Amino acid sequence: MPTIDADLMLDAIKAVVDIDRDWIPEKPGTSLYIRPFIFADEPFLGVHPANHFIFMVILSPVGAYYSVGGGDSLPTTKIYVEDKYARTAVGGTGAAKIGANYIISMKAQVEAAEKGYDQVLWLDSAEKKYVQEIGTSNAFFVINNEVITAPLDDGTILPGITRDSCLTLLRKWGVPCSERLLTIDEVFTAAENGTLNEAFASGTAAVISPVGEMIWKDKKVAVNNNQAGPVAKRLYEELVGIQRGIKPDTMGWVVEVEAQ
């Protein structure tokens, strides 16, 4: 597939948002979900790379599905560590936002839900040893007050914009953080000895989704007493505050859509 020029994509998004600005919900916790995408539409039946594509932008008003819970905490999720199925492999499509990645994850997601868990934590396909992503979101672990997330160098991890925003903010705040390999053994050992401060996922829809419980094989651990931790809450409040214009945007992330 061809790469879409960044300026063209931004102009397309601004144009469709301007046309449909009356559909933007204004209640707290609601938003307008924007999805640019590209697909092949070549009129040919066969197995070969396509030569013609359509680029589109679709919008959808969404309700307060992901919202701040009771008190000052974010709702936490229960995570099942998936050690049978593989989300992606080196040389695969893990670094791209494609439909195939979602299809592969469905079986594990269904089985995790049947066991009472909200989402799965994927491990690497080769050794079932290193943590990768939580569902279709980037995973973060805070161990001994260091924020750790999987590196992007082997092409198995999606370079999510929320992931990048989190890392940018953490470094700006002087919070120790690293992009490195982290084993599931390290995570559960930290949980058992009290040095796993918190865990959370980052993504477009949820922004920040704290983890309250994890199970791996026959080991079940609570994370931060099943409550959102200070790092997750601070990131959530900062990112949502910038998105909604409540907090100043010192990063140049906000783009204004002027009425035409």
State how far the Cα of 85 lies from the Cα of 77, in Å rounded to an integer. Answer: 21
Please report the pLDDT score of residue 104 as a whole number.
84
* Exposure of 94 in the CB half-sphere (CA atoms within 13 A): 25
Please report the pLDDT score of residue 13 as a whole number.
97
Please report the pLDDT score of residue 68 as a whole number.
44
Q: What is the pLDDT of residues 49-63, one digit of tens each?
A: 999 999 999 999 998
Tokens of 135: 């569902």
Q: Where do the domains of the chain lie, and which CATH numbers do they carry?
A: 6-62 (3.30.470.10), 77-243 (3.20.10.10)
Please report the pLDDT score of residue 229 as a whole number.
97
State how far the Cα of 127 lies from the Cα of 144, in Å rounded to an integer. Answer: 25
Please report the pLDDT score of residue 148 as a whole number.
98
Please report the pLDDT score of residue 64 as a whole number.
64
Q: Burial letters for 91-130: b for 16+ Cβ neighbours within 10 Å, e otherwise?
A: ebbbeeeeeebeebbeebbeebeeeebbbbbbbbbeeeeb
Q: What is the pLDDT of residues 17-26, one digit of tens each?
A: 999 999 999 8
Residue whose pair of structure tokens reads 């070549």 in the numeric block: 42
Q: What percent of the chain has pLDDT over 70?
A: 96
> Are 24 and 32 in contact, with CB atoms under 8 Å apart?
yes
Tell me which residues of the chain have a pLDDT lower than 70. Answer: 64-73
